[in-house]
Structure 1
Amino acid sequence: MLAANAKEIWNNLRGVICVYKPAGIKCNQIRKSIINAVCSGLDKLEVRPPGEYIQIEGDTTKELNIVKKVNLADDVLVVGPRYQFGDVSCSWSSYLGPNTSGVLLLGINDGTKAAKIIRENRLARTYKVRGILGEATDTYFKDGKVVERSTFRFIKLSHIEKLLTSMQAAHQKKMFELCGVDNQSQAAYELAIRGLIRPASSKIPVLYGIKCVNFQSPQFTIEVQCINEYEMYLKTLIHDIGVQLHSTAYCSEIQCIRHGHFTIDDALLRKHWTLENIYTNMEEMNKKLLLHEDMLRQNSPILQ
């Protein structure tokens, strides 16, 4: 349980939290909801009482009385709640698109510095991306207008697995080529064991792993480990899979299940976005950050 003193909670409210972002909601809306939950929770606790002022009373021809009174101009009924939206700093470590759900890391107050470190380290993220075979839409997503239909019953799990294996191999080969080494050489091996090979530009998406984890035609789900990805890239990936399988496909769902060392099990559901749960989650995430601090600050190989 939280302490009764809002000031004590406020002084310790600095760190990173992990929340579950629902699909259909923008990151900025999540940020506003978290800040509002923090402010409303703090205002329900014991807050600073109104200040006092000194007033001199009495007849000026006689001895005056010095009286200490409550300053009504400092009352919450006049100035509003003690903790307001603009008092809380909050930023995300990486952006999730409107149609993407899953793990979202937010830094609160001084925790925005930790969120920036996570963002600059470009930790790998893992997604489950679901697709539907047989149709293509103009947005590559389920909310788009169907622009093409095709047969899909000839597609088997083995076809998808073979395609994904070749796509992963192509990405790995491209990474080593950009590094100027042969992916079959000793130099490539030594480069790989040092950690994830990251492109110098944060705008170049890289796939480290891709596999099919569920196939019930026409629906299929792939698990993707990547960095520098963005929502449209993942939608396009499903579309390209459909084309290369000599059919069509559109994306029906995108879920981020891991961001670096933070998993979906760490994330607070929307119904748990209260001050007490946020504070508890922050303590747990800060401990996890301390455990992996050296790894976060370590410079991994970067493609020049």
Structure 2
Amino acid sequence: MGSLERSGLHGLFAVYKPPGLHWKHLRDTVEFKLLKGLNSKKQYTPKEHIRFLLAPKEGSERGELTLIAKNVPALSEHSLVRGPKYTSMKVGVGHLLDVKSSGVLVLGVGRGNKLLTDIYNAHLTKDYTVRGLLGKATDDFSDEGRLIEKTTYDHVTPEKLSRILAVIQGSHQKAMVMYSNLDLKTQEAYEMAVKGLIRPMDKSPMLITGIRCLKFAPPEFLLEIQCMHETQQLLRRVVHEIGLELKSSAVCTQVRRTRDGVFTLEDALLRTQWNIHNIQTSIQKAAPRVEAELEKSQTIALDHPDPVGQSVS
């Protein structure tokens, strides 16, 4: 296996995962294209060594042979003998997207695999657009599941939907404070709350930090959700529960991640851009933002007060 030290392939980058594609297949495809790009680069000229070879003796009329010294390539260094220089590499995957979902998927390569763990431990929020359809319920909360019931939705209004979304956001904000182990009576906690830096420092249930309706055109509606510690199935369940609160029913027809931490849709490479040049460029562009976010998260963790107002070491 060749070394990645001189390849510039150390860090994090984002790709766009289309719906219907499993994340493992996406990762394997990116890994294959990276290896192909590395091995297609100009290889070093094979070393030469001196060999004494038989050749016709100059001036001989009877075809006599003699030994002459020649420089010949060392076959052990030939690409056809040695095989590809790079044969494997580890491409890590950040917060997963299930098969039905699409959007920003963060990958790590080289030392970027360690950064994936750091990003996970930073508990950063992610943004989604979630599309719902009123009037029916299924066993898996998606429009592809087994139909359980059909309901009316003529009574649903944008105002009723907005009120329910406000209740959801309020309850999750209270849970955020609880799981962040903050005593809001302390000055440190107050300053963190003002700056919007409150976040749980450990694993917690899904927390919704923001939710609003972007479009309401019955029976369809489109939500924007900021959250952490979620799964796409939990987001589908939220749509189902919103339908119940509206005295109707609803299924989720689309889950699309638009931001994962510092990575947005603008950073996500499309399938046609999955090549070594674009990935190297993406890693370089994202590196300062990743470093800044991790430094901020480390500061929050160091200054994070415990319930009695003292810093956690």
TM-score bucket of the superposed structures, by smaller chain: 0.7 to 0.9
**1:14-70 deviations in whole A, cap 9, x for unaligned?**
111111111111222221111111111222221234455676768xxxx98776543
Could you state the TM-score of these two structures normalised by the residue count of structure 2?
0.82
Q: Secondary structure at the match of 2:7?
A: helix
Partner of 1:31: 27
- Tell me whether 229-238 or 107-116 shows the greater mean CA deviation: 107-116
**1:212-241 deviations in whole A, cap 9, x for unaligned?**
111111111111111100111111111100
**1:50-91 deviations in whole A, cap 9, x for unaligned?**
455676768xxxx9877654343543334432222x2x2211
Paired amino acid for 1:137: T
Tell me how far apart the structure 1 counterparts of residues 130 and 151 of structure 2 sit (CA, whole Å): 21
> CA 1:8–1:196 in structure 2 vs 1: closer, same or farther (change >3 Å)?
closer
Q: CA deviation at 1:174?
A: 2.7
Paired amino acid for 1:206: L
Superposition map of 1:16-95 within 5 A: 16-50=12-46, 69-84=72-87, 86=88, 88-95=89-96
Tell me how far apart the structure 1 counterparts of residues 248 and 4 of structure 2 sit (CA, whole Å): 60
Q: CA RMSD in A?
A: 2.9
| Cα pair 2:182 2:305 within 8 Å, conserved | no
> CA 1:65–1:293 in structure 2 vs 1: closer, same or farther (change >3 Å)?
farther
Paired amino acid for 1:192: A
Partner of 1:257: 258
> CA 1:181–1:220 in structure 2 vs 1: closer, same or farther (change >3 Å)?
same
Paired amino acid for 2:121: E
Tell me how far apart the structure 2 counterparts of residues 177 and 14 of structure 1 sit (CA, whole Å): 37
**1:274-301 deviations in whole A, cap 9, x for unaligned?**
2221121111112332444422433355
Could you state the TM-score of these two structures normalised by the residue count of structure 1?
0.84
Tell me how far apart the structure 1 counterparts of residues 195 and 265 of structure 2 sit (CA, whole Å): 27
- Tell me whether 15-24 or 187-196 shows the greater mean CA deviation: 187-196
Tell me how far apart the structure 2 counterparts of residues 216 and 303 of structure 1 sit (CA, whole Å): 46
Partner of 1:242: 243
Q: Secondary structure at the match of 1:220?
A: strand
| Cα pair 2:180 2:199 within 8 Å, conserved | no
Paired amino acid for 2:164: L
Partner of 1:273: 274
> CA 1:137–1:9 in structure 2 vs 1: closer, same or farther (change >3 Å)?
same
Paired amino acid for 1:210: I
Segments of structure 1 that go 5 or more residues without pairing to the other structure are 1-5
Question: Alignment length, in residue pairs?
Answer: 292
Paired amino acid for 2:19: A
Instruction: Quote the sequence identity (%).
Output: 31
> CA 1:82–1:178 in structure 2 vs 1: closer, same or farther (change >3 Å)?
closer
Q: CA deviation at 1:179?
A: 5.8
> CA 1:194–1:144 in structure 2 vs 1: closer, same or farther (change >3 Å)?
same
Partner of 1:3: none
> CA 1:134–1:47 in structure 2 vs 1: closer, same or farther (change >3 Å)?
same
> CA 1:289–1:178 in structure 2 vs 1: closer, same or farther (change >3 Å)?
closer
| Cα pair 1:22 1:100 within 8 Å, conserved | yes
Segments of structure 2 that go 5 or more residues without pairing to the other structure are 55-65, 308-313
Superposition map of 1:162-201 within 5 A: 162-178=163-179, 189-193=190-194, 195-201=196-202
Partner of 2:8: 12
Instruction: State which structure, 1 or 2, has the greater radius of gyration over its C-alpha atoms.
Output: 2
Q: CA deviation at 1:94?
A: 1.6
